[in-house]
Amino acid sequence: MKLFEMTQGEFLVLRPAGQLTSATSAEFEKEVRSRIEAGNRRVVLDLADLDYISSAGLRVLLVLAKLLKRDNGTLAVCAMNETVTQVFEVTGLSSILATHQTLNEAIAAE
Amino acid sequence: MRKPARRPSNLIASVDDPISLPMAVGMGVQHCFAMSSGLVLAALIAYAATDSVDVASNLVRVSMIAAGLGTILQSLKRGPVGSGYLCPNLPGPTFYPASLLAAQTGGLSLVFGMTLLAGLFQALLSRIIHRLRALLPPEVTGVIVAMVGISLIGPGISSIAGIAPGDTQSTALETFAGVSTLLVMFGLSVWGTPFMRLYCVLIGVAFGYALEFGLQIVPNAVVDEFRDSGLFSVPDIGLPVAMSFDATLILPFLIAGIASTVKAVGDLSTAQKINDEDWVAPEMRSIRKGVLADALAVISSAVMGGMGQATSSSNLGVALATGVTSRWIGFSAGAIFILAAFVPALAHVFVLMPGPVKGAVLVFVACFMIVSGMQLVMSRLMDTRKIFVVGASIIAGLSVDILPSLYADLDPTLGSLAASSLSLATVTAIGLNLIFRIGVKRRADFVLEPDEDREAAVVKFLHDKGALWGARRDIIQHATTALVEFVEASARTGSLTEDIRIDAHFDQFRLDIFIHYTGPALPLPEAAPSLADMDDEADQMQRLSGFLIRSAATKAEATRRDNQNTLHLLFEH
């Protein structure tokens, strides 16, 4: 999985591309964890290039959200496609994580 | 997974929105103008059976009551009748060819009797319409809609030229009036302000009347009739109206019923689409109830002494143009149309309409119907099967109009198939589509082996087959989500060490995937497990996987025998 990274002010913006499934979620979790451990506390996941997400991917997002919450940080997601949005809605993840239409909205709201 | 409708941003008031009384009345009146274009057909049918202006006027007024009633029934959301959408009725062009034939051969009583039969047939169709999708793909419905428009060419052009029963001479002045009226309608529709575009038919008719009076080609008797028409009277509603039946006309009227049903399915699908940004496929429950409402409008019209009804595509155009699609407008438009039937002067506008002006309205309506049909046909990629279904049925239909002598000596039963171009084209399209379904079903299977990258394998399998079969991209995406989830779940239970066999069956309406595997059965919970309380327990993750698979598919069913499981996933196409 490709993971693009940039910072906007105090926010770390990560943009995974492809699929977040059991095949890619372990590597993705490791990459994001390393950045959190390096001191990043305000993380935004820009999911515009994420084709779909499986239960393994959902689990990773929950783990990362809990990790940041424990350290008084925040995790927000934005720009999901229709397939990913549906998964967020039917599983109730959209009521647990802060979700936004665009990256700018995510940064403004957080 | 079927999601709730997402309201499009271009709508001012969508189907479920309440609206103010002034808006309900204002929009209702606009819709009544669009509904009134079908009244010309009622007048033409009446004059094929009688010379009496009073009889023709009554047919128009009763048809207005039935159209109003149908519009109200269509707007009902709760209960067994009504789609819940704004989709008004009008005297249906789909009934025109068969009704004209009945009026010419057996008078209006035959029109009423045969229309009743067609309405009852439509009511029956409404009960099984969801099972008939395979018989009525877009290329078949498109041909039928286009042929309804084509069947209006004959009466439209001859009326423009001023030719009518008992008046076979066309004059240059009549033709000039008809063509000018048509050009005014075209011009307003193309270059007019939004207001002019909405009322282009009405303004065109007013222009046509003015021109006819200006050129002094309106018979004095017509002027006298107008002068004598009152402002209020109760239409003569039969109950029971005199009816008669003719076996040779059963087929043309059943075909009219099929054509009306097909049109209703198309119009109601459009109404759903207008109100849902994420619309991908028709929701058949509301369509079934909508077709029943349409059938009841036809039946009530026949019983009261009116002509067959159908849903109005042009009213959907009005709804889209105005951005107001609230079902409350259906109630107001229906009520206003019924009230208008009690004003004889309004009915006389259509009953006494000069031939060239009537012709201009018919040709204007035909333009939209022919192009709507073509658009439906071209909404799917054409393969050789579809090319022959479309091409051969249009050729067969047109041959009735171009070479009528070919069909003159046929046995009455066979001859009734060729009673009109619409009739023969419909039978040919449905028949050829049925025949060409032979061999249309595609099938593929493969085995997920333990030592391969199973996730990549299922993604490649589905994307390759989806492209080969011409499946919709969103359906393949849903199927991919479900299969990738299944691969993850099988890895957690240890089934990954066993072969997993996948069978996929596809036709133009559904993708069925059967997953055969051994080991513990995957749970398929209807509700999502709580993510907030979730930890890493495999049992919870399996339930989440099962829920996601169930959500991605239209239907998911698991069966188990001994240690063998089969998971059947259906994706409606």
CB–CB contact A87 B481 (8 Å): yes
pLDDT of B2 reads 52
CB–CB contact A55 B488 (8 Å): yes
pLDDT in tens, chain B (573 residues): 555 667 777 788 899 999 999 989 988 988 888 788 788 889 989 999 998 888 999 999 999 999 999 999 999 999 999 999 999 999 988 999 899 999 999 999 999 999 999 999 999 999 998 888 778 888 898 898 899 889 889 889 999 998 876 677 778 999 999 999 999 999 998 898 877 876 788 889 899 999 998 988 877 777 787 777 777 888 888 777 899 999 989 989 999 999 899 889 988 988 998 898 777 667 889 999 999 999 999 999 999 999 999 999 878 877 877 788 999 999 999 999 999 999 888 878 777 888 899 899 889 888 988 988 898 888 766 778 889 999 999 999 999 999 989 888 887 777 778 888 988 999 999 999 999 888 777 889 988 887 778 888 999 999 888 877 777 788 888 999 999 999 999 888 776 567 789 999 998 778 999 999 988 889 999 898 888 777 667 788 999 999 999 999 989 999 998 888 999 999 987
Q: Which two tokens stand for residue B378?
A: 């071209």
| pLDDT 10s digits, A34-57 | 999 999 999 999 999 998 899 999
- Asked if B544 reaches chain A (Cβ–Cβ under 8 Å), the answer is yes
Does A58 score more than 70 pLDDT?
yes
pTM, 2 dp? 0.71
Instruction: Give the containing element (helix H, strand E) for A2.
Output: strand A2-8
CB–CB contact B456 A23 (8 Å): yes
**Given the DSSP bridges, would you call strands A11-20 and B555-561 parallel, antiparallel or unpaired?**
unpaired
Burial annotation B22-61 (CB, 10 A radius, 16+ → b, else e): ebbbebbebbbbbbbbbbbbbbbbbbbbeeebebbbbbbb
Q: Which two tokens stand for residue B84?
A: 């819940």
Backbone CA torsion sign across B254, B259, B262, B263: negative
Nearest to A93 among B278, B455, B531 (CB): B531
| pLDDT 10s digits, B421-441 | 988 999 999 999 999 888 777
Residue of A1, A55, A62, A88 to mutate for B, most B C-beta atoms under 10 A: A55
Determine the average pLDDT of the residues in A85-108. Answer: 92
Q: Quote the CA–CA distance of B143 and B390 in Å, as a whole number.
A: 6
B545 contact residues in A (CB cutoff 8 A): 54-55
- Asked if A21 reaches chain B (Cβ–Cβ under 8 Å), the answer is yes
- Asked if A104 reaches chain B (Cβ–Cβ under 8 Å), the answer is no
Of A78-82, A104-108, B33-37, the poorest mean pLDDT is in B33-37
Question: From the CA of A69, how many Å to the nearest CA of chain B?
Answer: 13
Q: Which two tokens stand for residue B51?
A: 């010379």
- Return the residue matching tokens 């259509």: B350
B544 contact residues in A (CB cutoff 8 A): 55, 58, 91
How far is CA B214 from each of CA B211, B217, B424, rounded to the nearest angstrom? Answer: 5, 8, 42
- Asked if A91 reaches chain B (Cβ–Cβ under 8 Å), the answer is yes
Q: Which two tokens stand for residue B547?
A: 């829920």
pLDDT of B21 reads 93
CB–CB contact B481 A22 (8 Å): no
pLDDT of B411 reads 78
Closest by alpha carbon to B208, among B52, B371, B363, B367?
B363
Tell me: cis bond preceding B240? Omega within 30 of 0 counts: yes
- Return the residue matching tokens 């022959």: B388
CB–CB contact B480 A23 (8 Å): no
Number of inter-chain CB pairs under 8 A, A vs B: 68
What are the phi and psi torsion angles at B40 (to 5°)?
-60, -40
A18 contact residues in B (CB cutoff 8 A): none
Nearest to A90 among B1, B532, B541 (CB): B1
A87 contact residues in B (CB cutoff 8 A): 481, 548, 551
- Asked if B538 reaches chain A (Cβ–Cβ under 8 Å), the answer is no
What are the phi and psi torsion angles at B44 (to 5°)?
-65, -40
- Asked if B409 reaches chain A (Cβ–Cβ under 8 Å), the answer is no
Q: Quote the CA–CA distance of B190 and B227 in Å, as a whole number.
A: 35
Nearest to A54 among B484, B531, B534 (CB): B484
What are the phi and psi torsion angles at B183 (to 5°)?
-65, -35
Centre a 10 Å sphere on the Cβ of residue B8 and count the other Cβ atoms it contains.
17
CB–CB contact A86 B453 (8 Å): no
DSSP A75-109: EEEE---HHHHHHHHHHTGGGTSEEESSHHHHHHH
pLDDT of B221 reads 73
CB–CB contact B481 A21 (8 Å): no
Q: Quote the CA–CA distance of B171 and A7 in Å, as a whole number.
A: 80
Does residue B4 sit in helix, strand or coil? coil
DSSP 8-state code for residue B199: T
B480 contact residues in A (CB cutoff 8 A): 52
Backbone CA torsion sign across B490, B495, B497, B499: negative
Question: From the CA of B469, how many Å to the nearest CA of chain A?
Answer: 22
Close Cβ partners of B347 (under 8 Å, ≥ 6 residues apart)? B39, B57, B60, B61, B64, B229, B341
Close Cβ partners of B331 (under 8 Å, ≥ 6 residues apart)? B24, B72, B75
How far is CA B383 from each of CA B386, B467, B560, rounded to the nearest angstrom? Answer: 5, 14, 40
ipTM value, please give it: 0.92
A58 contact residues in B (CB cutoff 8 A): 531, 544
- Asked if A66 reaches chain B (Cβ–Cβ under 8 Å), the answer is no
